[in-house]
Structure 1
Amino acid sequence: MSKVAITRSADYEPKNVQQAMEEGFELLGGVERYIKPGQKVLLKVNVLSAKKPEQNVTTHPQVIGQLIDILHNHGCEVLVGDSSGGNMVEGNPTEKALKITGIADVVKEKKAKLINFDNQGVEILQGGDVFPKLYVAKPVLEADVVISVAKFKTHGLTLMTGGVKNMFGAVPGRQKANYHKEAQTIDSFCRGLVELYSAVKPHFTVVDGIMAMEGNGPSAGKSKYCGTIVMSPDAISADRVLADILNCGYKDVLTTCYGAEKGLGVGKLEDIEILGTQPKELGITPFVLPNTKMVSKLPGFLTSMAVSLMQVIPDIEDEGCTGCSFCINSCPVDAMELSENKKAVIDYDHCISCYCCHELCPQKTIELRHNNRLGKLVSKLLNRRL
Structure 2
Amino acid sequence: MRTQVAIARCHGYQKEELDKALGRVLELLGGLEKFIKPGERVLIKPNFLSARKPEEGVNTHPEFIRAVLKKVKAITSDIMIGDSPGGFGKNIDEIYERSGVKQVAQEEGVALVKFDKSRKIGRYPVAVCALEADKIISLPKFKSHDIMLITAAVKNMYGVLPGIFKAKQHSIAPSNKQLAPILVDAYSIRKPDLSIVDAIVSMDGNGPSSGRLRETDFIIASTDGVAVDSVLMKITGLEPFDLHTNKEAHDRGIGEADLEKIDILGETINSVKVDDFRFSEIRLLNRAPKLIAWLLKLLMVFKINIDNSKCRRCKLCEEACPASAISIAEHKCKVDHSKCLLCMCCREICPHGAVVVDKSLLAKKMWG
Structure 2 length-normalised TM: 0.93
Alignment partners' CA distance in 2, 1:122 and 1:145: 18
The 1:283/1:203 distance shift into structure 2, 3 A limit, reads closer
Q: Which residue of 1 aligns with 2:103?
A: 105
Aligned residues: percent identity? 33
Bigger drift between 238-247 and 70-79 goes to 70-79
**1:241 aligned partner, one-letter code:** V
**Closer, same or farther: CA 261–67 of 1 in aligned 2, 3 Å:** same
- Paired residue for 1:125? 121
Q: Check the 8 A contact 1:85/1:94 in 2, yes or no.
A: no
The reply on whether 1:366 has 2:319 as its aligned counterpart is: no
The residue correspondences of 1:161-310 to structure 2 (distance < 5 A) are 161-282=151-272, 284-295=274-285, 302-310=292-300
8 Å Cα contact 2:230-2:241 kept in structure 1? no
Q: Which runs of 5+ in 2 are unaligned?
A: none
Partner residue, 1:356: 345
What secondary structure is seen at the aligned counterpart in 1 of 2:188? helix
Contact kept? 1:59, 1:149, Cα under 8 Å: yes
Superposition RMSD on alpha carbons, in Å?
Answer: 2.0
Aligned 8 A contact 2:229 2:240 in 1: no
The question of whether the paired residues in 2 share the 8 Å contact of 1:151 and 1:161 is answered with yes
Q: Measure how far apart 1:303 and its partner are.
A: 4.4
Structure 2 CA distance for aligned equivalents of residues 260 and 104 of structure 1 = 36
**Distance (whole Å) between structure 2 residues aligned to residue 268 and residue 93 of structure 1:** 40
**Residue of structure 2 in register with 1:35 after alignment:** 36
Distance 1:101 1:35 in 2: 27
Structure 1: gaps spanning 5 or more residues: 127-132, 381-386
- Aligned residue pair count: 367
Instruction: Name the structure 2 match of 1:23.
Output: 24
Distance 1:78 1:60, change over 3 A: same
The Cα of 1:29 is off from its aligned counterpart by 1.2
Comparing 29-38 with 59-68, greater Cα deviation is found at 29-38
Distance 1:283 1:265, change over 3 A: closer
Once the two structures are TM-superposed, the CA of residue 43 in structure 1 deviates from its matched residue by 0.8
Of 289-298 and 221-230, more deviation after overlay is shown by 289-298
Corresponding residue number in structure 2 for 1:345: 334
For residue 114 of structure 2, what is the aligned residue in structure 1? 116
Cross-structure match for 1:129: none
Q: 1:169 to 1:281 in 2, by over 3 A?
A: same
1:263 partner letter:
G
Output the amino acid matched with 1:363: H
Pairing partner for 1:315 from 294, 305, 308: 305
Report the alpha carbon displacement of residue 186 of structure 1 after superposing the two structures with TM: 2.4
Check conservation: 1:47, 1:83, Cα contact below 8 A. yes
Q: Could you tell me how far apart the structure 1 residues matched to 2:338 and 2:290 are?
A: 27
| Structure-1 residue corresponding to 2:132 | 142
Local SS of the residue matching 1:313: strand
Conservation of the 8 A alpha-carbon contact between 1:325 and 1:344? no
Amino acid paired to 2:349: L
TM-score (structure 1 length as normaliser): 0.89
Deviation at residue 224 of structure 1 after TM alignment:
0.8
Structure 1, residues 29-65: CA drift from partner, whole Å, max 9, x if none?
1112222222111111111111111111001111111
The one-letter code of the counterpart of 1:230 is: I
User: Which of the numbers 330, 333, 357 marks the counterpart of 2:320?
Assistant: 330
8 A contact 2:284–2:293 mirrored in 1 = no
* Cα distance change of structure 1 residues 283 and 236 upon mapping to structure 2, 3 Å threshold: closer
Give deviations 1:117-146, integer Å, cap 9, x for gaps: 1x2x111011xxxxxx11111010000111
Q: 1:85 to 1:297 in 2, by over 3 A?
A: closer
Change (3 A) 1:300 1:354: closer
